[in-house]
């Protein structure tokens, strides 16, 4: 506990010496407080998003209404961050409160559009790179690992999707195993598994 108290006092002295200690009694201190709060919230949001992505969560923590466009939480926090630090630097440099607010708003708007643009690109790449497994239904491929009969697990197939060659677990409802290199058609798909049938059986059933 004494170590934490000493570290806190040491950090406080450094921030105070650099005029970076939040203080709501002066314009400079107010800008500083806004800047630090925005920095802290942004850091927490970044960590939360990183943990959510690592955990495979589909929750978009960075969106106000599910939209991954310009008006995201990250972009809004970018504005507040730019406003706080922009205003702080202006006032610390000798500018008046009015000019400090103007500079803060200007920097905030610039930060807003920069972060909004970055988030758009990130979510666009994430969306474009994600595979919609239902799009595999109807596609053909080959058995990679022999597929047991009667829906038993253990088989694998390779399907040539337009964006990539996909190797996935597969099952089939037939009575005989499907050996490697057998041509198949995908009849159902989930995130983890495909249900297939031999192309020959599909063709003969249509005749």
The pTM (predicted TM-score) of the whole model is 0.47
What Cα–Cα distance (Å) separates residue 131 from each residue in 49, 181, 191, 204? 21, 24, 9, 30
Residue pLDDT, tens place only, 153-166: 888 898 887 767 78
Domains of the chain: 2-129 (no CATH), 133-201 (2.40.50.140)
Task: Give residue 199's pLDDT band: very low, low, confident or very high (50, 70, 90).
Answer: confident
Q: Say yes or no to pLDDT of 49 above 90.
A: no
Residue pLDDT, tens place only, 1-40: 666 666 656 556 655 555 566 666 788 888 888 888 888 8
Candidates 19, 37, 15; CA nearest to 28 is 19
What average pLDDT does this structure show over 99-113?
Answer: 92
Residue pLDDT, tens place only, 59-68: 443 433 344 4
| Per-residue confidence (pLDDT) for residue 110, from 0 to 100 | 93
Residue pLDDT, tens place only, 66-87: 444 445 677 888 899 899 889 8
**91 vs 50 pLDDT, higher one:** 91
């Amino acid at each position: 506990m004494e170590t934490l108290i000493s570290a806190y006092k040491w950090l406080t002295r450094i921030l105070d010496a650099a005029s970076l200690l939040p203080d709501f009694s002066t314009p400079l201190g107010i800008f500083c407080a806004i800047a630090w709060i925005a920095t802290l919230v942004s850091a927490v949001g970044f960590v939360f998003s990183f943990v959510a992505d690592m955990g495979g969560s589909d929750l978009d923590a960075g969106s106000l209404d599910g939209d991954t466009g310009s008006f995201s939480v990250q972009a809004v926090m970018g504005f507040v961050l730019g406003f706080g630090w922009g205003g702080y630097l202006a006032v610390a440099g000798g500018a008046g409160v009015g000019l400090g607010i103007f500079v803060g708003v200007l920097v905030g708007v610039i930060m807003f559009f920069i972060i909004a643009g970055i988030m758009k690109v990130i979510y666009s790449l994430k969306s474009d790179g994600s595979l919609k497994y239902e799009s595999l239904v109807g596609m053909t491929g080959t058995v990679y690992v022999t597929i047991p009969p009667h829906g038993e697990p253990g088989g694998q197939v390779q399907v040539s999707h337009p964006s990539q060659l996909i190797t996935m677990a597969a099952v089939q409802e037939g009575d005989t195993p499907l050996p490697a290199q057998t041509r198949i058609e995908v009849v159902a798909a989930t995130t983890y598994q495909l249900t297939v049938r031999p192309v020959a059986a599909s063709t003969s059933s249509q005749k």
